[in-house]
């Protein structure tokens, strides 16, 4: 039986990827960010997942406004790296796990989550920056990746509760897959940030820290946060945090917080990161 053993949440700030790709990770501005992931890299090297499911959002790379799926899953064998306007990031292509991805589709749809099947998809910084933060700069990513895209570009984005329930559906799907696979699920994006308009630069450390606390201890309070609260308190892009709730929904009710890191600023954003392990 396949099993989700842990969840990782992390911001996916493009400037972090650019800093790494351009050899600036040792500069005073960026050093604390990368040092904050040293323990995480050791952790995941020890855990050695067989597959990672990465929940992220596409930033108008694979999906324009022509088609905007609320939830989509990458079922391809390989996902090319997107050119986001300055050439593709110099990272290895992402290998998928079509068998498990299709299995998740079948299980989730019958579980009433009508997720969009994607067989051709370039992946952007939303997916590749978390991989870089957790795995560094390998020649090939150490395991297959199943991308799960969430629309957080066109409002309204799915509710936190819907995301949390999707996490539960993913877990159910994984546990009915007839192969022994160790799986880590990532929730990415956030934390508080606003990239646009005269209010750009909004950061709410208090909200973020409370969110991290409750992610571990009491996610039931987080699933009830209405959209307006994310928008008002955490900036227009802070609402990406609903994606963390998919990760959390896929874990046990009781989890162990293995590690946490929070840093302001990374470009326009409060960078948050947490690792949660299932106890069972």
Partner 1 sequence: MALPKDYDDLPGTVVFDADQARRGYHLNMFCMSLMKAENRAAFKADERAYLDRYPMNEEQKQAILKRDWNGMLQLGGNIYFTAKLAATDGLSFQQIAAMMTGSTQADYAQMMLNGGRPPEGNRSKSEWKNRG
Please count the CA atoms within 13 angstroms of the CA of 156 that sit on its side-chain side. 8
Is residue 28 involved in binding partner 1 (CB under 8 A)? no
Is residue 236 involved in binding partner 1 (CB under 8 A)? yes
Give, for 270, the enclosing helix (H) or strand (E): strand 269-278
> How far apart are CB 81 and partner 1 at their closest, in Å?
13
What is the spatial distance between Cα 208 and Cα 225, in angstroms, rounded to a whole number?
A: 13
Told to judge if 125 belongs to the known catalytic residues of this protein, a careful annotator would answer yes
Which residues ranging from 48 to 107 are in contact with partner 1 (CB under 8 A)? Answer: 59-61, 64-66, 82-86
Cβ partners under 8 Å of residue 46, min gap 6: none
Q: Is the distance from CB of 194 to CB of 237 less than 8 angstroms?
A: yes
Q: Is the distance from CB of 143 to CB of 51 less than 8 angstroms?
A: yes
Told to judge if 59 belongs to the known catalytic residues of this protein, a careful annotator would answer no
What string marks each residue from 125 to 144 as x (binds partner 1 by CB under 8 A) or -? Answer: --------------------
What is the spatial distance between Cα 119 and Cα 185, in angstroms, rounded to a whole number?
A: 20
For partner 1, the closer of residues 18 and 109 by Cβ is: 18
Structure tokens belonging to residue 264: 């302001």
What is the spatial distance between Cα 12 and Cα 53, in angstroms, rounded to a whole number?
A: 15
Which region, judged by CB under 8 A, interacts with partner 1, from 96-104, 105-113, 245-253, 261-269?
261-269
Binding residue (CB under 8 A) for partner 1 from 1, 45, 67, 195: 195
Q: Is the distance from CB of 212 to CB of 122 less than 8 angstroms?
A: no
Angle at 242 between CA 84 and CA 261, to 5 degrees: 80
> How far apart are CB 43 and partner 1 at their closest, in Å?
28
For partner 1, the closer of residues 233 and 257 by Cβ is: 233
For partner 1, the closer of residues 14 and 160 by Cβ is: 14
Is residue 47 involved in binding partner 1 (CB under 8 A)? no
Is residue 270 involved in binding partner 1 (CB under 8 A)? yes
> How far apart are CB 134 and partner 1 at their closest, in Å?
22
> How far apart are CB 154 and partner 1 at their closest, in Å?
5
Instruction: Tell which phi-psi region holds residue 114, choosing left (phi > 0), alpha (psi between -120 and 50) or beta.
Output: beta
Residue of 12, 103, 193, 273 marked active site: 193
What is the spatial distance between Cα 115 and Cα 166, in angstroms, rounded to a whole number?
A: 10
Is residue 191 involved in binding partner 1 (CB under 8 A)? no
Is residue 253 involved in binding partner 1 (CB under 8 A)? no
What is the spatial distance between Cα 210 and Cα 213, in angstroms, rounded to a whole number?
A: 5
Q: Give me the active site residues, please.
A: 125, 193
- Site residues, partner 1 (CB under 8 A): 14-15, 59-61, 64-66, 82-86, 153-156, 192, 194-205, 207, 227-228, 231-233, 236-237, 264-265, 267-268, 270
């Amino acid at each position: 039986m396949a099993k989700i053993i842990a969840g990782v949440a992390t911001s996916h700030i493009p400037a972090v990827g650019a800093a790494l790709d351009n050899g600036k990770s040792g500069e005073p501005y960026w050093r604390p960010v990368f040092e904050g992931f040293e323990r995480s890299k050791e952790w995941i090297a020890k855990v050695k997942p067989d597959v990672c499911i990465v929940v992220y959002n596409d930033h108008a790379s694979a999906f324009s406004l022509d088609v905007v799926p609320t939830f989509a899953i990458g079922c391809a064998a390989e996902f090319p790296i997107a050119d986001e306007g300055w050439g593709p990031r110099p990272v290895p292509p992402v290998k998928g796990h079509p068998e498990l991805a299709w299995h998740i589709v079948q299980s989730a749809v019958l579980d009433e989550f009508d997720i969009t099947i994607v067989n051709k998809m370039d992946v952007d910084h939303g997916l590749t920056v978390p991989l870089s933060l957790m795995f560094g700069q390998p020649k090939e990513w150490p395991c297959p990746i199943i991308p799960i895209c969430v629309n957080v570009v066109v409002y309204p984005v799915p509710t936190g509760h819907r995301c949390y329930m999707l996490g539960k559906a993913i877990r159910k799907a994984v546990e009915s897959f007839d192969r022994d696979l160790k799986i880590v699920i990532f929730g990415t994006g956030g934390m508080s940030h606003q990239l646009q308009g005269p209010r750009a630069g909004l950061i709410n450390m208090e909200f973020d820290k409370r969110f991290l606390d409750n992610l571990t201890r009491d996610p039931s309070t987080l699933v009830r946060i209405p959209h307006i609260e994310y928008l008002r308190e955490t900036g227009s892009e802070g609402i990406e945090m609903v994606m963390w709730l998919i990760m959390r929904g896929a874990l046990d009710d009781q989890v162990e917080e293995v590690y946490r890191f929070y840093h302001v600023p990374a470009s326009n954003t409060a960078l948050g990161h947490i690792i949660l392990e299932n106890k069972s």
